[in-house]
Amino acid sequence: MTMPWKKSIEPIIKNSLGFLFRAFSGVLKDAITIFVYHDVSDSPSEFSRSHDLNVRPSLFEEQIKFIKKNFNVISPHHLLRGEIPHRAALITFDDGFIGYFKNAIKILEKYDLPSIIFLNMGPIKGEVFWSGLITYLCDKRSDFKSYLQETLSKEAKKKPLFLSCSRDLVESYMKSVGESFAEEVHQFVGEFAGEKDLLEASRNPLVFYGNHSYNHYVPLLLSDEELLKTYNRNARELEKYDNYRNILSLPFGRSSFSHEQVHLLFKNGAKKIFQSSGKINFDRSSNFLDRIALTSDHDSPSKIWFQFFQRQLREIATL
């Protein structure tokens, strides 16, 4: 439980440290900073709100102004060709929420900035969004949580429960209760873009598409064959669009995949692979890159500067 005093003092600490961290921004000169967003909306879904995946459009614009002022934003095309200037940055999105297409693109166009959205084509084609399904079950169904407690090992229970939800486990539960939860999950997750939205946006020279797997399964819970199947199936769908680039964003960002799986995906065609553990990339030539999330909490320049360096600070503190 978060103590009330801690909740009120935390923004002050972040602002103060962020102001100090700004003095070290020179280290970004030879780095590439990759930002990750999910939804941009004034009416986010419960899923987006509860997992801090949404940024309201007015705040998103302020963050974009900050990025444009402090960085040289590149496109995925430049990244793949190794054309990376000083203080380089890349703006990315995950999943495929309609908020990117209705709200974010207009703001990015206003500042003439490119972006790439990593898409799950399953929910875009009308299937239930796997990430939404497993978080809905973990958040809303006490019988499902009991089912997990009885089924999972002690080690698996130590991490967020949804990261232990394999397809076999979830499908077995749904079969036992005789429900698919499709309508409930749709209401919980909110609106995804459709193929018509993708086709229209694909003509925009500032918009690029990347691979986020077909339906956001947890990589660690997949066999090599299943992992390649969801990667390749998504790639085949995305290859229909001229703005697709063979870059992969791993579902669930971090702690959900193995390095062996990363090597397997490189071996099978991925040109660049992204995770999201919140670090700056000081090795700009690397094909395995990290991303920093900007959320509704980052409502001042100082808080954004804090976000850049807080992960490194925590690692130093644990040494």
All structural domains of the chain with their residue ranges = 29-126+192-311, 129-190
- Indicate the pTM of the whole model: 0.91
Q: Calculate ∠ Cα 255-257-260, nearest 5°.
A: 130
Pairing of strands 115-119, 88-95: parallel
Residue 115: the pLDDT is 98
Return per-residue pLDDT of the chain as tens, 319 residues. 444 444 455 555 455 554 455 545 566 789 999 999 999 999 999 999 999 999 999 999 999 999 999 999 999 999 999 999 999 999 999 999 999 999 999 999 999 999 999 999 999 999 999 999 999 999 999 999 999 888 888 767 667 888 999 999 999 999 999 999 999 999 999 999 999 999 999 999 999 999 999 999 999 999 999 999 999 999 999 999 999 999 999 999 877 999 999 999 999 999 999 999 899 999 999 999 999 999 999 999 888 888 877 766 665 444 4
Residue 161: the pLDDT is 87
**Burial group, residue 5, by CB count within 10 angstroms (0-12, 13-18, 19+):** exposed
Domain 29-126+192-311 grouped into CATH 3.20.20.370? yes
Residue 24: the pLDDT is 53
Residue 19: the pLDDT is 47
Element (H, E) at 197: helix 195-201
- To 10 degrees, the CA torsion angle through 13, 16, 19, 25? -40
Q: Which two tokens stand for residue 23?
A: 């003095």
- The CA distances from residue 117 to 72, 168, 171, 219, 284, in Å, are 19, 29, 29, 19, 20
